[in-house]
């Protein structure tokens, strides 16, 4: 499970407990606060968790990402189809960056902090759609046919434009009612996750 922008795994405690209760072996992402160069987050932290889960279960991994966490999940799946069985995104704008002005201001603040903290370790356009890092390269790829894909979204999102949170395939896109933040706690979302994991053969 991968958290959204500016938050940590801790708000996914309810989802973690629910997944465990219905028979799955969930893992927190371990990325800390999701307010960092995505390329560094994946390389230095998220890949370690994926490696651990893959090693301990002996099976391909199912990723569930909320908001920016879903964007990270899509990128990882594009890069590691041999290790990823499915990706479920919750209000994740993986097709473009159209968001509420307050969100965009927060993004710019994070971008400036990344530049100060990492300097030459990140590309000049880090945290923008113009960046040429491996994260965006993987994100732009079509997912391998072996990776099951689910995009859950709400037209009442309020933070990101829901039209950028869908695949365009009605068999993979699932609309629910509720808010952007609420997607991580929404019973309808949990029902879709359970159904899609079962269809993917998760255990």
What does pTM read for this prediction?
0.88
Residue-wise burial string across 183-199, b where 16 or more C-beta atoms lie within 10 A, e elsewhere: bbebebbbebbbebbee
pLDDT at 121: 73
Residue 149: strand pairing partners = 87
Separation of alpha carbons 60 and 45, rounded Å: 18
Rounded to 5°, the CA angle 113-32-149 comes to: 105
Write down the mean pLDDT value for the chain.
89
Among 59, 13, 50, 1, CA closest to 202: 59
Low-confidence ranges of the chain (pLDDT < 50): none
How would you write 155-171 as a 3-class SS string?
Answer: CCCCCECHHHCCCCCCC
The encoded tokens of residue 196 equal: 């899609």
Q: Provide the pLDDT for residue 35.
A: 87
Domains in the chain (CATH in brackets) are: 9-98+132-199 (3.40.50.1820)
Query: What integer pLDDT is reported at residue 98 of this predicted model?
Result: 53
- pLDDT of res. 71: 93
Query: Which of 88, 77, 98 lies closest to 15 in space, CA to CA?
Result: 88
Q: Are 108 and 99 in contact (CB under 8 A)?
A: no
pLDDT per residue over 80-108, tens digit each?
999 999 999 999 999 876 555 676 676 57
């Amino acid at each position: 499970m991968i958290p959204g922008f500016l938050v940590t795994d801790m708000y996914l405690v309810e989802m973690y407990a629910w997944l465990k209760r219905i028979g799955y072996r969930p893992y927190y992402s371990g990325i800390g606060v999701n307010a960092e160069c995505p390329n560094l987050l994946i390389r230095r932290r998220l890949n370690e968790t994926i490696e651990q889960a893959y090693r301990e279960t002996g099976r391909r991994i199912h990723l569930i990402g909320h908001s920016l966490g879903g964007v990270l999940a899509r990128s990882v799946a594009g890069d590691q189809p041999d290790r990823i069985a499915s990706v479920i995104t919750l209000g994740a704008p993986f097709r473009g960056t159209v968001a509420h002005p307050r969100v965009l201001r927060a993004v710019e603040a994070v971008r400036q902090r990344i530049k100060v903290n990492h300097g030459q370790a990140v590309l000049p356009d880090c945290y923008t759609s113009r960046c040429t890092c491996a994260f965006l390269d993987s994100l732009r790829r079509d997912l391998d046919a072996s990776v099951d894909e689910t995009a859950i979204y709400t037209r009442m999102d309020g933070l990101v434009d829901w039209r950028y949170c869908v695949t365009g395939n009605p068999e993979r896109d699932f609309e629910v009612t509720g808010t952007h933040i609420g997607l991580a706690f929404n019973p309808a979302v949990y029902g879709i996750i359970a159904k899609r994991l079962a269809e993917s053969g998760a255990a």
